[in-house]
A = this chain, B = another copy of it.
């Protein structure tokens, strides 16, 4: 047996590659030469009992890296967590076992439970490259996951995380499949349902392809990064919480997949259902309301697509022991006035506080959903959920519950206001017939949302309004002039963003 020295000292590159482990090595170092490593080689870096598979970037010029040293990106550094002077070994990793399963899916085969288990295991161990993950996501896109495959993927994803145990208490939950800017009903619904005494430990995601996720919006008003013990304490005290799910490892594989879905800007019905229901099961929910907004520019574009999604949700729910109620809602236009974390938080607070100018559409949608959830409970069903929900909101009990939840999560803050604003006005006169959800969302994202909490849009006109030339349509909010200008010029160039029809009277 030949003894090969394949070790190097570790240094911290201080480079953020967005969760992709990267290792930087000099082209002329003895390890690259001995092991035959070249740019983009996947390399297993081992330090004691910890290891990570990283993509190699080769240094061909310059001298920022000392000899006999390899530098790690932030993600690789945090996994290995080295001490000064530690030497790691660098080897060719075994080819990940699940690559053949991904290939089979790419070629159109149906996968079995053990194949999904292998893929999710390799996802969690970061054995798959970003390109492998993109191939897996693409191969499952559209309707290429069957219902049995969706059930298997859901089970794999749930099994890979922790599941909360609430004993015999009935746990409620809600989810919206998204695609509708400003549709921020969750904080209102949770406050109403918790005020009614039902237990709803709500976890939400951050935005994937939208300008704000519920966690992003809620974070403007209260801390959302709760650990499992804090979440349990909040829910046991207040019956509800509105937390970020990413801190709880409920479906940790999902967080890795989302990292690739985000730049690709597409996902699939199968992965959507597996992502949503694996998290609902992991949080311990048994009765779950799913809101599906339908509209030509929403995520779900037609009643037919909504039916297919409903069928898939219910089949998977049945298989894993969840009672689902699917609520189709109007998805033709943005909801409320604000789009972006802080701007949506202002709408939520206006509804809870019963402000005179509070957006009526957001209030109505929240009451519909809270009512449907109350109807899932034997103890509140007979009284009529919708009416009970309205009483809880109008009496101020929902507002009080929301403030109590915020306090329990770490304290309430009032949303701030962005530094720069720009108004976009109409160049035509007539009736505002439609707003394109996708381009509205894109404009808000160009303005900096959700990364910049205060950035986004405030709508100044509603579908159905009579519009004159020069009438303000919306206001762009941004934290930097570059983003303000970029969002404004995109919005000005999009003639289909707002459709204005000539009056024919």
Contacts and interface: CB of A to CB of B under 8 A. Distances in A.
Interface string A7-27: 000001111111000001001
A103 B36 CA distance: 37
A65 B27 CA distance: 20
Contact of A482 (B35, B60, B448): B35
B483 A36 contact: yes
Given A106-B266, A142-B107, A18 B4 contact: no
Given A4-B482, A36-B482, A141-B107, A130 B132 contact: no
Given A92-B486, A448-B36, A61 B12 contact: yes
A129 interface: yes
Interface residues of A, number: 63
A2 B135 CA distance: 42
Interface string A394-438: 000000000000000000000000000000000000000000000
Contact of A264 (B74, B135, B263): B135
A33 B448 CA distance: 11
B142 A16 contact: no
A179 to B, nearest CB: 15
B142 A485 contact: no
A48 interface: no
A33 B18 CA distance: 17
B130 A62 contact: no
Contact of A138 (B18, B36, B73, B138): B138
A451 interface: yes
A315 B52 CA distance: 47
- Highest count of chain B CB atoms <10 Å: which of A16, A448, A480, A481: A16
A208 interface: no
A387 interface: no
B40 A480 contact: no
Nearest to A479: B36
A36 B142 contact: no
